[in-house]
Structures are given as structure tokens and as C-alpha cells.
Amino acid sequence: MAHKKENNNNNDDDHTQKRDESGDELPLMSLNHISRVCKSVNDSVEFYTKALGFVLIERPKALDFDGAWLFNYGIGIHLVQSKDEDKLPNNHELDPMDNHISFQCEDMEALERKLKERGIKCMKRTVGGKEDGEIDQLFFNDPDGFMIEICNCENVKLKPMGSIGRLKLPLDKHNPPVELDSNAAKAS
């Protein structure tokens, strides 16, 4: 049985932020988890807990397959034991233009030191400029070759290109700054 959370906030903007372009309400709240198929659940648990600070949590007993759930920073990582290793990435090159997940970081140097101490090969770069904000990025692979990015993307403002009324920012989470120009404000 689903439990409905009561919202005592009577702000009309909250109501309009949940509507899609057709006007229907979307009850989405946030990203819940990502799922990763892995060669070794144990190796992946060690990587995500020791290198990135995730915490192993109990999985529902109804899940009768080999896997693990991790959680921290408001997001879950669900690991599933691979039945076919041919489906795992076989290219361990670091290409920022390839599929990856990204984590926001408040101290890039400290995280880079931690990765180096663990012997994790990373690619470091800075993109952007003073006008639109510089972003420091670290790219590396998990034990199965899935690419991970660590960044300080809060240095770049989100600039909605359409109605600001559709942008929903949870108040209890870290959010990048949002820049509203007069056109975006009028379109909402």
C-alpha cells in the first residue's frame, strides 16, 4: 500500500512545477537509484563503499538473485550479479562523451587524493570559462568499466530554456544555482 506524503506547503508554484507540457501532473520527486550489472558483486560493493563512501543496506528478501543495495548522498546504487559478462562494457577508456554517472563534489582535491591512494586511474579536466563558470571533472571506471564522473557542477548556473514552472528543485537537496532571465520568467 502506497503512503501519500502530506504537503502542507500551499505555494501554487509547487503545484505548477509538477505539470508536464500537456498540463498533467507528474508526481516525480527525484532520482531514486541507478542499477549496475557487475562481474563480482563483492568487488563492486568494496569499490563503491571504500572509494565513494556508499553504505551497504539490506535488500528486500523477495529479491532472490545475487545483488546488493548501496545508499548515500540521497541516491541508491543497485548492484546485480551478471549472468552474461559479454554484456558488460569492454572498453575501459575514459571518454567524457560516453555514458557515465556523475556525482557532485564539494572538495575535488580531497576526492582526487583518495582515488589516487586507492590506485584508481582518473582523467582530470576543467571545462568552461569565467563567463559561464568553470567545472572541474574527474573521470574513472568502476571495476566493471562503467564510467563515473566527479564534478563541481554547481559552478555553472542552470538556465532554463523554457518555462521555469516545470523545473522542480527539491528543497532538501543540494541544487545548482538557477539563473532566470526575463524571457524564462515571462514564459512560465
Q: Which is the catalytic residue, given 106, 149, 154, 179?
A: 149
Tell me the residue ranges of DSSP E strands in the chain.
Answer: 33-38, 55-57, 67-72, 75-81, 100-104, 123-129, 133-141, 147-151
Domain membership of residue 103 (yes or no) is yes
Q: Long-range contact list for 86-91, CB < 8 A, 24+ apart?
A: 87/37, 88/37, 88/38, 88/39, 88/144, 88/145, 89/144, 89/145, 89/146, 90/145, 91/145
Query: In this structure, is residue 148 part of a structural domain?
Result: yes
Mean pLDDT (the chain) is 80
Q: Find where cell 528543497 sits.
A: 171
Winning range, highest mean pLDDT, from 3-17, 27-41, 107-121: 107-121
pLDDT value of position 11: 43
Q: Examine the domain organization and report whether 138 and 110 are in the same domain.
A: yes
Across residues 22-27, what is the average pLDDT? 69
Between vectors from CA 108 to CA 30 and to CA 92, what angle results, nearest 5°?
80
Residue 113 lies in a domain: yes
- Give the model confidence (pLDDT) of 66-119 as tens digits: 999 999 988 999 999 999 888 788 777 898 888 899 999 989 999 999 999 999
CATH number assigned to the domain comprising residue 70: 3.10.180.10
Alpha-carbon distances of 76 from 41, 58, 73, rounded to whole Å = 15, 12, 8
Q: Is 58 among the catalytic positions?
A: no
Q: Render pLDDT for 111-159 as a digit per residue (tens, 0 to 9).
A: 999 999 999 999 999 998 878 788 999 999 999 999 999 999 888 877 7
User: Cell numbers at residue 46, please?
Assistant: 568494496
Residues 149 and 117 in one domain: yes
Q: In what order do the strands lie in the sheet with 100-104?
A: 100-104, 147-151, 133-141, 123-129
Report yes or no on 165 lying in a domain: no
Domain span at 54: 32-83
pLDDT at 173: 62
Tell me the pTM.
0.75
- pLDDT of the residue at 36: 93
Q: Is the Cβ–Cβ distance between 173 and 30 less than 8 Å?
A: yes
Same domain (yes/no): 67, 101: no
Query: Do 102 and 151 fall within a single domain?
Result: yes
Choosing from 16, 49, 83, the residue where a domain stops is 83
> Which domain-ending residue is among 43, 60, 83?
83
